[in-house]
Amino acid sequence: MFNTRFAMEVATALFTALLGLIICIGSARHGISWNEQGPEAGFFPFYIGCMVLIGSAVNLAQAVLARRRLTSHFIEFDRVRDVAAFFVAIVAFAVLVSLLGLYVGIALYLPAVTLWKARLRPARAALLGLGAALFFYVCFEYAFKLPLPKGPLLNLFGIY
């Protein structure tokens, strides 16, 4: 009963709705309006939480409307290993980010995953990782002026 695709669609929609609600409530505590200096700290996260809530509601409605078509198993037993490998890779990425910072974590994680799963050539995988890390660095640090965790390596090279 709980291994049907319908059950997983509903559970995922409810889980993401809960996350969106938590984001909205947390953002509201930091202020979600504009003042004379610009948007308050919770302005952007609040609207991202609202988008997550709306997306969750759409996903839930789609699942309910398609309930009869979603009776198959969510995951076949022989695919559990692939899902577990993906989960382990995500946990490894979280550990990399907490130890080395977001940008170095991306620069290491993407090449490793694309080498392992997509079987990209090493040079392309390295370019993908470095390009993605550089893209996110420019976006967050310069365009959005939102400093993200850089970790000890970037601090060692004086990149703040």
User: Which of 70-84, 113-127, 139-153 tops mean pLDDT?
Assistant: 113-127
Task: State phi, psi for 39 to the nearest 5 degrees.
Answer: -70, 145
Contact 46, 75 (CB under 8 A): no
Element (H, E) at 104: helix 102-113
The pLDDT of residue 147 is: 81
Question: Is the Cβ–Cβ distance between 48 and 32 less than 8 Å?
Answer: no
Kindly indicate the confidence band of residue 72, based on its pLDDT and cuts at 50, 70 and 90. confident
Six-digit token string for 133 = 């890390």
Q: What is the mean pLDDT of the chain?
A: 90
Which of 29-38, 60-69, 105-114 is predicted least confidently?
29-38
Query: Does residue 158 carry a pLDDT above 80?
Result: no
Residues 151 and 104: beta-carbon distance below 8 Å: yes
Task: Tell me what pLDDT residue 152 has.
Answer: 84
Q: Which amino acid is at 42?
A: G
DSSP H helices, 30-79, are 43-65
Confidence of residue 23 (pLDDT cuts 50, 70, 90): very high
Cα(154)–Cα(6) distance, rounded to whole angstroms?
45
What pLDDT sits at residue 92?
93
Q: Does residue 149 have a pLDDT over 90?
A: no
Compute the average pLDDT of residues 32-44.
Answer: 89
Whether 160 has a pLDDT exceeding 70, the answer reads no
User: Do 108 and 96 contact (CB within 8 A), yes or no?
Assistant: yes
SS3 155: helix
pTM: 0.60
Q: What is the mean pLDDT of residues 52-62?
A: 98
What average pLDDT does the segment 132-153 reach? 87
CB-CB contact of 102 with 148 (8 Å):
yes
